[in-house]
Structure 1
C-alpha cells in the first residue's frame, strides 16, 4: 500500500534545501526536518493519526528517519520543535509503513520524490499526495504559527470539486411523516395501502384506523417530545400504531419482544415512555410487568371501546413539526450498553424526495416490509410505499427468512420493490425473482456477484447510511454488471464530507471519515449528552446551527464524484446487515464473574457467512464453560449479536507494545461432542449439520447455533434436509429443536 510521485519543489522549500545542502551541515538536517514535518502532517491527515514514522533525504545525503508525534502540537512551529527533539536514525531507505520524501539536487530546480507507505490514495493516483505535501511544506515555511487544524491541504480546484460532490440544496416542503402519509390517503383513497397475509387495507381504511388511534393517544397526553413504546408483531396493527403515534405528534420507540428482558428493560428505563402499545399476548411480557407504563392493548375489547370513545379529541393530520422527534431506535453501544438515536421529522421530506427520484415507487407497486421494526430500515420500507401511494406488503417472520421462504413471499405477493441486506440476497435461490422490479441493497457491502446475478433482469440500487441519519445518506442509480460498485451520491439535501482526524477535508482520491450533514442528521443520542457532543459536531461547512455527524466509516470519492465505502475506523462491524459494536459484546462477556479479559472479532468476509467470534481469558482460579457463557450472553444481547463461537484462551497473543494482537488470535473451533448417533437418521442429520456449519463433525446433541449457525445457515440446513430426506421442515423448527437428535425426533413423529 502506498504511492510515489516526483514534482518540482515549491520555490521557498527549494531555496531552504539548497542552502542547507551546501552549508556547513552537509547532511542538511534542517532541510530534512522541514521535509519530515511537512510529510508528517500530510501523511497523518491521510492515515488519520498523530504519530507518523517519516524518513527524509536531502540531496545525496543519507536517509534519516524519525517518529514525529503531533498529538501535543498546536501549531506547525510546535511540530518542527517536536521533530527536532525526536531521535534520528540513519536508514537505507523508507521501510514499509514509513512515509518518505527526498529532495534531489541535480543542478536544476530541486524536485521532491514522495513515497507514502501509509493509507494513500488509489494506486496510480499519487499526484494529489505530492501536491498536498508541497502545499503543507510551503505553509511550514511561510506561516509557522498556523494551527495544525487550519493547515490547508487542498488547492482551489480540489476544493471546488469536493464542494460539488458533497451535495446540493433542493427545495422540498418542510412537512413531517404524518402529513406525507395523509397526502397519499387523500390522493388515493381506494388504492390498497397494506397487505398482510390475505388481508388488504385501502388507504382510506388505513387513514381511518390511524386517525381513530391517534385521537386516543392525544387524549392520553401524547404530544411532541412524548415517546410511545410499540411492541406489536408484524401486522396491520403495527403500521396503524406507528402512524398513529406520528399523527398524534409523538415519537415511537419500537420494542422487539424476542429481545432479552434485560435489554428491553434497559431501553424502557432509559427512554421512559409513558405509554406502550401492544397486544394481549405481549401484554404479560416481564420487561414491562413492574414498570410504571400504561398499556394499550390494540386487540382488547375494553381498550378498543376506550379508543372509540376518544373520537372527540382533536388531532392534526400533519403530526409533528420538522424539529420534533419521529422515532428513537436503539443501536449497539461501544460502552457496553445500547444507545437510543433520536431522529426528527426534519429529514423525512428529503428522504421521500430521494426515494421518488432514485427508486420511483408509486401507485400499483408493491413494496416488501422486510426489516424488523426495531431497525430504521423498517421506516425506509414504510415510507417507500406509503409516502408514494404504493402498497406495503407485510409477512410473518417465518415467511421472510432468507432462502426459499423469502423467495416464495416475493413471488406470492408479486413484490416489485424489496430492500434487503446482501446476506439475505445471497441466500435467495437461483430462480427468477423481482423480474423487472427493483432490488435495493443496503445495510452492508454490496458485492459484484449480486450485481452480476441480479442486474440483467432487475434494477439493482445500492445505498448507505447509519441509523444516526434519517435512514440513509447516499444512494446509487441502477448498477450494471461489470460496472463500478459505489454507494452513490448524497440524498436530497444531505451533505457528505470526507475528513481527516482533525476534521479537515482530504484531497480527492484519498480516504477519509464519512461525515454527514443536512436536515436528515439525527438530534443525537437520548440521555447521552457527552456522546452526542462527541459524534454530532457543529457543521463548519453548512449554515449556522447545522450539525455534522461523524460516522466512523471510511470512504473515498472516485473521479465521477461517487462515494465508495471502505470500512470502519473503530471496533464496529456489520453482520448480515446488523450493526454491532464489538465493544458491547466484550463488555457483556466481561460482566461474567469468571471472565478476566474478553475480545470479539469479525470472521469471514463473505457477507452471508460473516460472524462474531469471541475469545475469553478466565479470571484467576476460575473455570470457564462455553455453554454457561452463551446462556449469560443470551440474557443481555439479542440473537444477532451473539458470538457464533466462544474460545477460551489461557493467554491472549500480544503485540510488542503489550496490546492484544487481534490478528494473531487463532481460528475459532466450536466445541462439538463425541457422542455417537443413536440411529441412521441421526447419523445423516449430524452429517448435514456438519456440512452446513463447515465442521469436521457434529454430535447428535450439539446445538446448531452454539456451533456457529445463524438464520441464513438454518435455511440452508432445511434445504439440505428436504433434498436428502424429502421432509418439508419449517425453518422455525430448527430454532425450536436445534440439535440433530431433536430434528430426528420431529421427523420420526
Structure 2
C-alpha cells in the first residue's frame, strides 16, 4: 500500500526478517547498528558542504532512502523519494561521547531513515560519525559510502554541479539457484547445530542481551611470515590458511569434531559492485576434524570447501533454517556460534576530505550476535585480527588467550605442516610461562614424615584437643606405634586393607597413623578390609617412648585406595598453606581434615556431632579454642551459618565435598570469613579453590589426554590419576574446580552446570538447599528443593528460574522435601535424590478443578501445534520442549492474531509456559 510519501511498501525478505527477529528479541538496544566509523580529519570541515555531500549520496542511492515498517506480524519496506539530511553534533562538547551516542543509539523501524551522520569539532581535528542500520548496509557499503562521501565533499567544496553520479537503484538479490539449495542441504545433512560449546567461558544468561566487546591484536612477525609461506606451499589463499587455523583453535577448545563456522560472503553481482545495501550472506562452512590428519591435507579440504561455498553463496541461511533440525540454544537464529570474517582492505580504507588527511576509526556498537567472531584485517604494514565476542559468554582475559593461541597455532602449523593436527602445539606464551612443563618434581616427603618432624621438634605441643583433655604430639605417636604392633600381631602385612571404625578423637587418629606405619591401606569399605579396628581393638595404655621415624614407609606405597603416600602429601600441601599454625576444627570424619592439622603442627580440635546442626554450639567452639580453620560441607554450613554471628570473623572457612552455593559463600564472607572451596578426589582434597599450587603434580586434560592451557575446562588429574572432577587453570597458576564431571551437561548445545542451577535456585528466599538431577530415561531436569510446604511453590520457583537461568538450564519439575538426603560424610546423597525423583514419577495430571482456563487452553493448543507435541500442559516450557527463537516469533504472532494482545518476542522467553503467557495475556488484555 502507498505510504504518506507516495512510495509502495513491499514485504521484507527472509534475510531481513532474520534481523528483525533479533530486534524484537532485545528491543531498544541497537543490536543491528552496523559497527560505526568516524572519519577523523586533520583540520576543520565546513558543515554546510558536508551536509550537501551527504544529501547527494542519499539522492543517488535508493538504499539510503529505504525505510522499514515493523507491524504486528510482518515487516515491510519502501523507498522514500527524499528526506531532509540534518547533520548532528553541532553543540556537542565531548567529541568521543557524541560519536558513541550517535552510533549506538537504536533506530526505529517506523518508516524513519536508517542513516545518521554527525560532524563533531574537536580541539585538534574534526570527526565525521556515520551510524547506519544493518538492514540497508554492510561492510562493503561502508567502504563505498566513505569513498563517495569524500568525492562528494571535494566536489561541493569547489562548486561542482550537484551530481554524485548516476542513480543506484535497490539491487534485488536473485532467488537461490536450485543447485545451490541442493548443495547446502547436502552440506548440512545430519548436522547437529546444538553441538558442544567451547570449554572456556561461562553459562549463558537467563535472557539474551547480545552485549558484545572487541579486542584487536596484531599478528606476530613470525605468524605473518608463516602465513605467506603457507600460501605458497599449500597453494591456498591466506584467507583459507587463516580459516583452517581458526577451526583448529575452536576444536582445541572443545567445539567438537563436526563444527560449522559462519563466513560472510559479498553476494553482489559484477554489475552491482557499487550497490549500497545489506548484500551479505553468512554461509555455514561445516568441516569434520580428524586429529590424525595433517595440516597440509586439512587446509586443502578447507580450501575446496571454501571455493565451493563461495560458488553457492546465493542462498541466505534464513531460507534453510526451517528445514534444519535444531536443538540448539533457544534464541539463536543461526546454525553456528562462531564466525570468521576477512576484510581485504584491513578495515582502514585511506581517504581524505577537502585535501585534509582523514583517519578511519571504528567505534564498537557494543553488541555481538555470536559467541566469537575473528575478523582478519590484513595490510602491508601490520596485519591484525579483531575478536568480537559475546561478553555474556567470554571475558576479555579468555579472548586475549584465544588470540595468543591462534597466533601460536599458525606458527606451529607452518613449522610442521605434515604433523598430525592433534600433535600441534596450540599453547600461547602465557600458557607456557604459567604452566611450564607437565607435572611436578616427585617429592620424597609423606604425611607421616611431616608429622614425625613435628613430634621431634615439639613433642609436648597439643595435637588432639577433645573436650577438656589434650593429647600431645608425642603421645599420639606412641599410640600410633602401639597400633602398628597390634596389627603386626594380627598378621597384617604391607598393602593389606584396614578399616577403622571409631569416633573422632585421639584413638581414631592413632589408628589411622598406626595403620600407615604398618604399611597398611586405610579404607572405609569393611568388605575390602582384612581387619576392622573398632573402639575395643584400639583401646590401650601407652607407656613406651618411641622414636618418631617414618622413613620405612615408601612414598609410593598405598595410603588410601588408589592414593599413594606421596600423592596424599601433595594434595594436602596447597590447602595447608591456609592453616598458618592455627587450630583446625575436626568436624567430620575425613582423613584430609585430620592431616591438615597434623602435617602443619597445628592442634586439631574435636567437635561433637551436634556442632554440625547447632550453630550456637559451633560458634562457642570457635571462640573458646580460637579455631583458625573450619571445614564443612555446604549442607552443614547452610544449617549453621545464620547462627554463627561474629564467630567466623577472621577465620578460614573451607567448603568441601561439592561446589558451594553462591548465596552461602556470600553469607560467610559477609561474616568476614576467608572462604575457600575444597574438592575431594579419591579420599583426598584436590586443592583449595583459588590457592596457587606450586609443586602439586596436577594437570587438567581433555578427553583425549591432551594437557589443557589456562582457562580451559577439563578433567583434573593428580599424580597422573583421573579424579572425575572438572577444573581449569587460572592465570595465577591456581586451579578453579567446577565439580564432578558428571554434573556438567550439554543440553541442546547449551552447557549446563548443575551446581550453577542449584546455586540459582538457592538464591530464592524459600529455598534452604537444592539438588538437581536428570529424570531417568529423559533429559528433563528435576529440582529437589528443601523448602517450606506452601501453595504455588513450584510456580514461584519456575518464575524465579526464568529470571536467572537460560531456558535449557531451567528445571522442568520441582519436588519439595523437608530435608535433602545426605551421605555419612554429610554431603548431598545424589543417588538418594535420583531415587526420590524416580519414585515421584512424572508430574501428575492437574485435578479437574484445576483445569486450564480458556486463555491457557488456547496457548496450550498453540504450543502443541508449533512444537508438534500432544503432551503439552499448562507448565510445559516452550524451549525445554524443543522451541527456538523462530518458533517463538510465530508463537507471539499467533497470540496476537487470536487474542488481539500484542507481545514482544522477549515475552516468550520471560514467560515460557502456557500458564505464564496466559497470565500475561490476561493482564495486558485488561489494560487495553
**Which TM-score band (shorter chain)?**
0.5 to 0.7
Question: Which of 732, 742, 745 is 1:571 aligned to?
Answer: 742
Q: Could you tell me which residue of structure 1 aligns to residue 676 of structure 2? A: 462
Structure 2 SS opposite 1:472: strand
Q: Could you tell me which residue of structure 1 aligns to residue 692 of structure 2? A: 489
Q: 2: CA distance between counterparts of 1:436 and 1:114? A: 43
* Alignment deviations for residues 508-540 of structure 1 (CA, whole Å, 9 cap, x no partner): 5x42325445xxx3xxxxxxxxxxxxxxxxxxx
* Alignment deviations for residues 98-152 of structure 1 (CA, whole Å, 9 cap, x no partner): 2211121118446544456799752365343234334434555664312112222
Aligned 8 A contact 1:439 1:461 in 2: yes
Q: 1: CA distance between counterparts of 2:823 and 2:685? A: 28
For residue 495 of structure 1, report the CA deviation from its aligned partner. 4.2
Q: Could you tell me which residue of structure 1 aligns to residue 491 of structure 2? A: 221
* Alignment deviations for residues 242-264 of structure 1 (CA, whole Å, 9 cap, x no partner): 12211212121125xxxxxxxx6
Q: Could you tell me which residue of structure 2 aligns to residue 126 of structure 1? A: 399
Q: Could you tell me which residue of structure 2 aligns to residue 367 of structure 1? A: 584
Aligned length: 515
Q: Could you tell me which residue of structure 2 aligns to residue 610 of structure 1? A: 770
Gaps (5+ residues) in structure 1? 24-28, 256-263, 281-296, 329-341, 373-377, 476-485, 522-546, 574-580, 583-598, 619-625, 667-749
Aligned 8 A contact 2:583 2:602 in 1: yes
Q: 2: CA distance between counterparts of 1:96 and 1:15? A: 31
Aligned 8 A contact 1:3 1:121 in 2: no
Question: Which of 827, 842, 859 is 1:649 aligned to?
Answer: 842
Aligned 8 A contact 1:176 1:318 in 2: no
Aligned 8 A contact 1:601 1:662 in 2: no
For residue 571 of structure 1, report the CA deviation from its aligned partner. 1.5
The TM-score with structure 1 as length reference comes to 0.57
Q: 1:253 to 1:406 in 2, by over 3 A?
A: same
Q: 2: CA distance between counterparts of 1:417 and 1:516? A: 26
Compare 448-457 and 124-133 and name the one that shifted more. 448-457
Q: Is it true that 1:192 corresponds to 2:192 in the alignment?
A: no
Q: 1: CA distance between counterparts of 2:611 and 2:341? A: 63
Gaps (5+ residues) in structure 2? 1-203, 205-211, 268-279, 319-332, 347-378, 747-751, 763-767, 779-814, 845-862, 870-876, 883-928
Q: Is it true that 1:555 corresponds to 2:728 in the alignment?
A: yes
Q: 1: CA distance between counterparts of 2:586 and 2:317? A: 61
Structure 2 SS opposite 1:43: helix
Q: Could you tell me which residue of structure 2 aligns to residue 664 of structure 1? A: 880
Structure 2 SS opposite 1:433: helix
Q: Is it true that 1:104 corresponds to 2:104 in the alignment?
A: no
Larger Rg: 2
Q: Could you tell me which residue of structure 1 aligns to residue 712 of structure 2? A: 511
Aligned 8 A contact 2:656 2:680 in 1: no
What are the within-5 Å matches in structure 2 for residues 188-267 of structure 1? 188-255=458-525
Question: Which of 626, 640, 646 is 2:829 aligned to?
Answer: 640
Aligned 8 A contact 2:481 2:546 in 1: no
Q: 1: CA distance between counterparts of 2:260 and 2:614? A: 47
Question: Which of 356, 371, 387 is 2:599 aligned to?
Answer: 387
Q: 2: CA distance between counterparts of 1:634 and 1:457? A: 28
What are the within-5 Å matches in structure 2 for residues 140-151 of structure 1? 140=413, 143-151=416-424
Aligned 8 A contact 1:325 1:345 in 2: yes
Q: Could you tell me which residue of structure 2 aligns to residue 687 of structure 1? A: none
Q: 1: CA distance between counterparts of 2:703 and 2:249? A: 12
Q: 1:63 to 1:73 in 2, by over 3 A?
A: farther
Q: 1: CA distance between counterparts of 2:392 and 2:419? A: 25
Compare 398-407 and 48-57 and name the one that shifted more. 398-407
Question: Which of 276, 301, 320 is 2:553 aligned to?
Answer: 320
Q: Is it true that 1:79 corresponds to 2:293 in the alignment?
A: no
Q: 2: CA distance between counterparts of 1:59 and 1:600? A: 39
For residue 443 of structure 1, report the CA deviation from its aligned partner. 3.7
Q: 2: CA distance between counterparts of 1:206 and 1:562? A: 34
Structure 2 SS opposite 1:605: helix
Q: 1:219 to 1:465 in 2, by over 3 A?
A: same
What are the within-5 Å matches in structure 2 for residues 259-658 of structure 1? 268=527, 272-279=528-535, 297-298=537-538, 317-318=550-551, 320-328=553-561, 342-350=562-570, 354=574, 357-361=577-581, 365-372=582-589, 378-401=590-613, 403-411=615-623, 413-427=625-639, 428=641, 429-445=643-659, 454=668, 460-468=674-682, 470-473=684-687, 475=688, 487-490=690-693, 492-504=694-706, 508=710, 510-513=711-714, 515-516=716-717, 521=719, 547=720, 549=722, 552-558=725-731, 560-566=732-738, 570-572=741-743, 604-605=758-759, 609-613=769-773, 615-616=775-776, 640-641=829-830, 642-643=832-833, 645-646=836-837, 647-649=840-842
Question: Which of 278, 282, 286 is 1:67 aligned to?
Answer: 286
Q: 2: CA distance between counterparts of 1:392 and 1:634? A: 24
Q: 1:187 to 1:498 in 2, by over 3 A?
A: closer
Aligned 8 A contact 1:446 1:462 in 2: no
For residue 501 of structure 1, report the CA deviation from its aligned partner. 4.8
Q: 1:44 to 1:229 in 2, by over 3 A?
A: same
Quote the RMSD (CA, aligned, Å). Answer: 5.1
Aligned 8 A contact 2:284 2:335 in 1: no
Q: 1:67 to 1:381 in 2, by over 3 A?
A: same
Q: 1: CA distance between counterparts of 2:665 and 2:842? A: 41
Q: 1:496 to 1:51 in 2, by over 3 A?
A: farther
* Alignment deviations for residues 42-84 of structure 1 (CA, whole Å, 9 cap, x no partner): 0111236323221234788853322222146432244346544
Q: Could you tell me which residue of structure 2 aligns to residue 528 of structure 1? A: none
For residue 323 of structure 1, report the CA deviation from its aligned partner. 0.8
Q: Could you tell me which residue of structure 2 aligns to residue 44 of structure 1? A: 251
Aligned 8 A contact 1:616 1:649 in 2: no
Q: 2: CA distance between counterparts of 1:444 and 1:451? A: 13
Q: 1:64 to 1:140 in 2, by over 3 A?
A: farther
Q: 1:59 to 1:112 in 2, by over 3 A?
A: farther
The TM-score with structure 2 as length reference comes to 0.47
Q: 2: CA distance between counterparts of 1:324 and 1:131? A: 42
Q: 1: CA distance between counterparts of 2:659 and 2:828? A: 21
Q: 2: CA distance between counterparts of 1:71 and 1:650? A: 44
Question: Which of 411, 427, 448 is 1:154 aligned to?
Answer: 427
